[in-house]
Homo-oligomer: A and B are copies of this chain.
Amino acid sequence: MKKPSAEKDSDEYRQRRERNNLAVKKSRMRSKQKAQDTQQRVNELKEENERLEAKIKLLSKELSVLKDLFLEHAHNLADNVPPSGTGADGASPATGVNGHGQ
């Protein structure tokens, strides 16, 4: 079961083989390249992820600061503390301080 040595021993057989070998090489190159690209993609996405997480952390921080300011303000109102030296009478019925969210 080696080869029907006849027919395709040389000639256009060899030629087909050669072409195929070439195609094979090409195909495998692509395949490898793709794998590398995918790996690369992973790295990029990881970086992107870290950036986003950092941004989230930052925004969260900012938010919490602002919210705290609001709370403080609310407390001041509740404690009947006027914003400035203005002697406007402060008859502000204290309202509930909304809690933190989320």
Contacts and interface: CB of A to CB of B under 8 A. Distances in A.
Contacts of A53: 52
Interface residues of A, number: 37
Nearest to A74: B90
Interface string A47-70: 011001101100110110011011
Contacts of A63: 59, 62-63, 66
Contacts of A56: 52, 55-56, 59
Contact of A52 (B52, B83, B92): B52
Interface of A: 35, 38-39, 41-42, 45-46, 48-49, 52-53, 55-56, 59-60, 62-63, 66-67, 69-70, 74, 77, 82-84, 86-93, 95-96, 98
